[in-house]
């Protein structure tokens, strides 16, 4: 591993994202020994004028009830907070960034890093509107200056634009200031344990190799449900909607890993090459394969206009035009204010040809990968019902993580992705051409929605979403299983 000083700068340090996600992720890395106090210093940067202690106190509450609480936890929190220094400044003038650079440099000198490398990681927990100016300031004032090597990297969060044009503009602006190898575009779904498992599952198991294609698979669903609404984020959400918030990024990234061809190696560029190829094979979305919804009460939020056409629910069928997937619908579904909270991939197989048990069957074979909560993979299959009669019943082969990996703490997505950034592994980050291909798929549809040519149907909060979505699912070929429900095992 590399050595030398590591300066982690959280820009937007006083904001919500930093408090709730970035600092807790850094704390968890610290606790597990990935951030060594002898090397690491953390800088918070934002416009608000507060002291180091004020920032620490704001963060503290989000660290106190961490995972795997232990008696030494409060002590670890205090030690971690001491590693944080706060600097206030604006996002578009050099003054604050010069000061920041001075502080980073002082830290590097104090750790004798002039004899070692200097590693500078800038985490932009900021709205994308300020990315270009912040990148410019970092580029002008805060780059790593050590002759002995090291690096400067930036981490950016979505939304990366609102459509193809704005996304490309943003990419060009950032691209003029940083090399692609320095830019880490986070999609936190790529940091989820079961998403990371997809490559292993698909390419390290003989079981799946011959089955994973149009000859055997009838349809694939990638589903995201939340049982709460916009939850105070109405102002942000209304400008984006569920397709930009969830489907174009999180679900599409999952689709890539489910559908892509085998990369020639695990090198990040090889993996990302395959993701781009599959994205480029997606056909234009047809209006009749889209259902939009908006939950009743969505516009009650003061920050949402009364006549908002923004979908809070969408089912979109994607069709991949290649040898493996021709004719197999990939159904992406996401919704807020539904009846449950979960994210899963559901691969439904075709019926058995020449089936002799026809009249008794409850459903098709399905392979379900539950991303959250209660991470699991289970295969729904037909077995003989135990007993004297020859009856069949739907059952499952179940790998539930909570049971199989007792005591193993599954890392938070953000935690893992920050560690990847420090290690310089871009595998789980979105490359510029990948982002472009993703926007190419959805931009025409999004523009039709923005122009009001497609309207969301109302649905009741706490329901399954608009009924039309189930109808579309059926039309796409999904066959619902009756009389069977998977029960997550408990300890
Ligand atoms: C974010 C979206 O990217 O993902 C939110 O902006 C959503 O609207 C969140 O709630 C869901 O993430 P997770 O990890 O809870 O599934």
- 308-323: per-residue pLDDT in tens? 999 999 999 999 999 9
Query: 418 versus 150: which is more confidently predicted?
Result: 418
Q: Give the model's confidence band at 391: pLDDT under 50 very low, under 70 low, under 90 confident, else very high.
A: confident
Q: Please state whether beta strands 217-225 and 342-349 pair in parallel, antiparallel, or not at all (unpaired).
A: antiparallel
Residue linked to tokens 């109808």: 471
Could you report the per-residue pLDDT of 450-479, keeping only the tens digit for each? 999 999 999 999 999 999 999 999 999 999
The residue whose CA is least distant from atom 13 of ligand 1 is 189
Q: Could you tell me the two tokens for 363?
A: 């459903």
Task: Give me the mean pLDDT over the 149-168 stretch.
Answer: 94
- Residue 255, pLDDT > 60, answer yes
Name the phi and psi angles at 403, rounded to 5: -85, -45
Q: Whose CA is nearest to atom 4 of ligand 1?
A: 246
Sheet strand arrangement including 290-295? 392-400, 376-384, 366-372, 342-349, 217-225, 329-335, 313-319, 290-295, 457-459
Sheet containing strand 183-186, edge to edge, reads 84-88, 40-46, 5-11, 118-124, 150-157, 183-186
pLDDT number for residue 356: 86
Q: With a cut of 60, say whether residue 245 has pLDDT above it.
A: yes
Rounded Cα distance between 486 and 239, Å, is 37
User: Which residue is listed with tokens 């074979």?
Assistant: 365
Atom number in ligand 1 closest to CA 226? 10
pLDDT category of residue 304 using cuts at 50, 70 and 90: very high
> For all residues of the chain together, what is the average pLDDT?
93
Active-site residues: which are they? 250
pLDDT of residue 65: 61
| Interval 210-233 mean pLDDT | 96
Closest listed residue to residue 335, CA positions, set 256, 442, 245, 444: 245
> Atom of ligand 1 at shortest distance to CA of 233?
8
**CB distance 245 to ligand 1 below 6 Å:** yes
Work out which ligand 1 atom sits closest to the CA atom of 192.
14
pLDDT at 162 over 80: yes
As a whole number of angstroms, the distance between CA 376 and CA 392 comes to 24
Q: Residue 360: its pLDDT value, please?
A: 60
Query: Is residue 68 scored above 60 in pLDDT?
Result: no
- Ligand 1 pocket mutation, candidates 193, 245, 343, 411, criterion most atoms within 8 A of CB: 245
Phi and psi, residue 77, nearest 5°: -60, -50
243 lines ligand 1 (CB under 6 A): no
Q: What is the pLDDT of residue 418?
A: 97
Torsion of Cα atoms, 435 then 436 then 442 then 448, to 10° = 130
Cβ contacts of 373 within 8 Å, gap of 6 or more: 341, 342
User: Worst-scoring range by mean pLDDT, 125-134, 220-229, 337-346?
Assistant: 125-134
The structure tokens listed for 233 are 């984020």
Closest CA to ligand 1's atom 9: 246
Question: What is the model's pLDDT at position 70?
Answer: 66
Name beta bridge partners: 80.
none
- pTM of the predicted structure, to 2 decimals: 0.95
pLDDT band at 490 (very low <50, low <70, confident <90, very high): confident
Query: Regarding beta strands 40-46 and 342-349, do their DSSP bridges make them parallel or antiparallel, or are they unpaired?
Result: unpaired
Residue 483, pLDDT score: 81
pLDDT of residue 48: 93
pLDDT confidence bin for 3, thresholds 50/70/90: confident
What is the Å distance from ligand 1's center to 192 Cα?
12
Ligand 1 pocket residue status of 271, Cβ below 6 Å: no
Q: In the structure, what pLDDT confidence band is assigned to residue 72 with cuts at 50, 70 and 90?
A: low
- Ligand 1 neighbourhood includes 343 CB (under 6 angstroms): yes
414 lines ligand 1 (CB under 6 A): no
Closest ligand 1 atom number to CA of residue 224: 16
Residue 361: what pLDDT? 65
Task: Answer whether 203's CB lies under 8 Å from 197's CB.
Answer: no
CA–centroid distance, 188 to ligand 1, in Å, is 8
Look at residue 2 in the predicted model and tell me its pLDDT: 77
Phi and psi at 78, nearest 5°, equal -60, -45
Q: Which residues in 308-323 are b (16+ Cβ under 10 Å) and which e?
A: bbbbbbbbbbbbbeee
pLDDT tens-digit profile of 328-357?
999 999 999 999 999 999 999 999 988 888
ipTM for this model? 0.94
């Amino acid at each position: 591993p590399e050595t030398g000083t590591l300066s982690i700068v959280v820009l937007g340090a006083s904001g919500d994202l930093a408090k709730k996600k970035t600092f807790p992720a850094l704390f968890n890395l610290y606790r597990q020994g990935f951030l060594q106090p002898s090397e690491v210093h953390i800088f918070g940067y934002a416009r608000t004028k507060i002291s180091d202690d004020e920032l620490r106190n704001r963060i503290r509450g989000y660290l106190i009830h961490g995972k795997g609480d232990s008696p030494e936890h409060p002590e670890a929190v205090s030690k971690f907070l001491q590693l944080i220094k706060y600097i206030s400044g604006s996002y578009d003038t050099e003054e604050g960034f010069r000061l920041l650079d001075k502080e980073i440099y002082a830290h590097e000198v104090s750790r004798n890093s002039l004899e070692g490398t200097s590693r500078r990681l800038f985490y932009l927990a900021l709205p994308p509107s300020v990315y270009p100016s912040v990148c410019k300031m970092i580029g002008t004032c805060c780059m790593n200056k050590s002759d002995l090597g090291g690096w400067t990297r930036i981490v950016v969060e979505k939304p990366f634009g609102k459509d193809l044009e704005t996304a490309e503009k943003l990419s060009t602006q950032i691209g003029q200031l940083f090399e692609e190898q320095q830019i880490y575009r986070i999609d936190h779904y790529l940091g989820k344990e079961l998403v990371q498992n997809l490559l292993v599952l698909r390419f390290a198991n003989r079981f799946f190799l011959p089955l994973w294609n149009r000859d055997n698979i009838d349809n694939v669903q990638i589903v995201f449900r939340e049982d709460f609404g916009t939850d105070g984020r109405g102002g942000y959400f209304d400008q984006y909607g569920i397709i930009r918030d969830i489907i174009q990024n999180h679900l599409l990234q999952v689709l890539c890993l489910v559908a892509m061809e085998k990369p020639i190696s695990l090198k990040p560029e090889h993996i990302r090459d395959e993701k781009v190829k599959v994205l480029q094979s997606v056909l234009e979305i047809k209006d009749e394969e889209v259902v939009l919804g908006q939950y009743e009460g969505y516009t009650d939020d003061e920050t949402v206009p009364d006549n908002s056409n923004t979908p809070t629910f969408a089912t979109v069928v994607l069709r991949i035009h290649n040898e493996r997937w021709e004719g197999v619908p990939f159904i992406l579904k996401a919704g807020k204010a539904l009846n449950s909270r979960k994210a899963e991939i559901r691969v439904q197989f075709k019926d058995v040809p020449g089936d002799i048990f026809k009249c008794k069957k409850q459903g098709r074979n399905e392979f379900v990968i539950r991303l959250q909560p209660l991470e699991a993979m289970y295969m729904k299959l037909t077995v003989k019902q135990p007993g004297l009669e020859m009856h069949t019943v739907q059952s499952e082969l179940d790998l539930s993580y909570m049971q199989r990996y007792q005591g193993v703490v599954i890392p938070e997505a953000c935690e893992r992705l920050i560690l990847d950034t420090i290690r310089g592994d871009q595998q789980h980050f979105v490359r510029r051409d990948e982002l472009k291909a993703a926007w190419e798929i959805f931009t025409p549809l999004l523009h039709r929605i923005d122009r009001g040519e497609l309207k969301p149907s109302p649905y009741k909060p706490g329901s399954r979403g608009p009924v039309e979505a189930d109808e579309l699912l059926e039309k796409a070929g999904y066959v619902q299983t009756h009389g069977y429900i998977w029960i997550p095992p408990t300890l």
